[in-house]
Amino acid sequence: MLVATVLAAIAAYLFQLVVGRALGPEAFAPLTVLWTLQFLVFTTVFMPMEQLTVRRLSLDEPGAAPWRLYLSVIAASVLGATAFAATTLDRLFAGDTAYLVVVAVLVAAYGGFALGRGYLAGRRRFREYAYCTFSESVLRLALAGVLLVLSVGALGLGWTLVAGALVVWLWRPLSGERRREAGAAPEVGAAAALAGFVAANAAAQTIVAAGPLVVAALGAGAAEVSIFFQTFLLLRAPLTVAYNLVSRIMPPFTRLVEGAHTGTIRRLIAGVGAAGAALAAAAFGAGYWLGPALVQFLLGADYRPGPLLAALAAAGATLATVALFAQQMLIALRATGRLAAAWLAALAAAAVAIALTGHTPSLRVGWAFLIAETLAFTLIIALTLATASRRPNR
């Protein structure tokens, strides 16, 4: 899964590089919007569905899938994304109404992609999960190459994003599920668990992704915004890779919870907390001394950040990555409400930090990012330990 995820990330980067250069900044703009919409909906709404599906199927006697809930969530996501596209059609999609169809199908396809991967991981079909993750990016890149040769424009290339999401069905993730779920009682508390998880991810993604917008709102020039964007995009690469790996650890975490192995859970999470703190400290130093040179090497001297900004990005991204793995135990404990509280508190802390600090716009947002990730990480570790302690031990 790790190899497939890294290769998928490389293919995704190559797609943006190749297509962006071929189309040029203006023609490529609608594709960047499609990509961003898909990313935000997937990480905020559909990843919780995927991970909760993995958790449910990891139980000894899983309840029936809450299909009505999941289909309602996908439908609402389609309507929301399409409404956004409709209201910004002239500004973001050159007034072409055909993009409304692409947006609707794209979001629906990724809803199915998330559920399909959830079933693959939940049934411990990790090899197929890896193939699916790899194929999504590679198929999208290959189709884009063909369409560019045929001189197809951005609208046609938008359908390559849809095609990538459809590959999950090649592995028939739902095969035999109707028979397995026949007579099973409906899952209890699915709506509450999903709501808490979505709220947590919305706050977490705001902390991770909204930085460039905040930097611009604070009055930074175009060059400062671009340097901030590219620095954080590059240095949070481990977090991007981790999104496709967390489903692998949900089954063993769920078995620890259902087996009431409280002592093991507490030792494991305490170890993750200590490791996360040590890694973040090391990342801060590495970011300070090596980060600017790395960004310059990959993107050019115009994008070279200051050492402190690179250090803040590296340390915060490290904490975000470790927190992503740590919070899987809180999800296994069905404590998504507590998870939401941790991330919402972190988001509030980021807002306070931006308001009270007096650095340049980039450093204000950089410090806010690190403060928020530190608080979220600390709360996740503490809440997981407290929640596990309340369960009977074995």
- Is the pLDDT at 59 greater than 90? The verdict is no
Average pLDDT for 313-340: 96
- Is the pLDDT at 26 greater than 80? The verdict is no
Q: What is the pLDDT of residues 140-187, one digit of tens each?
A: 999 999 999 998 888 999 999 999 999 999 999 998 888 888 777 777
Per-residue confidence (pLDDT) for residue 133, from 0 to 100:
92
CA distance 75 to 108: 7
Average pLDDT for 85-110: 92
The verdict on pTM exceeding 0.85 is yes
Average pLDDT for 80-93: 90
**Where residue 87 falls among pLDDT bands split at 50, 70, 90?**
very high
Mean pLDDT of the chain: 91
Per-residue confidence (pLDDT) for residue 18, from 0 to 100:
86
Per-residue confidence (pLDDT) for residue 116, from 0 to 100:
96
Q: What is the pLDDT of residues 328-338, one digit of tens each?
A: 999 999 899 99
Average pLDDT for 23-27: 78
**Segment 102-105 long-range contacts (CB within 8 Å, at least 24 positions apart):** 102/34, 102/155, 102/158, 102/159, 102/161, 102/162, 103/34, 103/37, 104/78, 105/162
Per-residue confidence (pLDDT) for residue 345, from 0 to 100:
98
Residue of 344 and 22 predicted with greater confidence: 344
Residue of 93 and 353 predicted with greater confidence: 353
Lowest mean pLDDT among 60-64, 216-220, 255-259, 301-305: 60-64
**Where residue 21 falls among pLDDT bands split at 50, 70, 90?**
confident
Lowest mean pLDDT among 20-29, 276-285, 294-303: 20-29
Average pLDDT for 107-131: 94
**Where residue 188 falls among pLDDT bands split at 50, 70, 90?**
confident
- Is the pLDDT at 343 greater than 60? The verdict is yes
Segments making up each domain of the chain, as ranges: 2-188, 198-389
Per-residue confidence (pLDDT) for residue 372, from 0 to 100:
98
Per-residue confidence (pLDDT) for residue 25, from 0 to 100:
67
**Where residue 86 falls among pLDDT bands split at 50, 70, 90?**
very high
**Where residue 35 falls among pLDDT bands split at 50, 70, 90?**
confident
Residue of 27 and 146 predicted with greater confidence: 146
Tell me if 388 sits within 8 A of 339, measured CB to CB. no
Q: What percent of the chain has pLDDT over 70?
A: 99
Residue of 358 and 214 predicted with greater confidence: 214
CA distance 302 to 230: 11
**Where residue 92 falls among pLDDT bands split at 50, 70, 90?**
confident
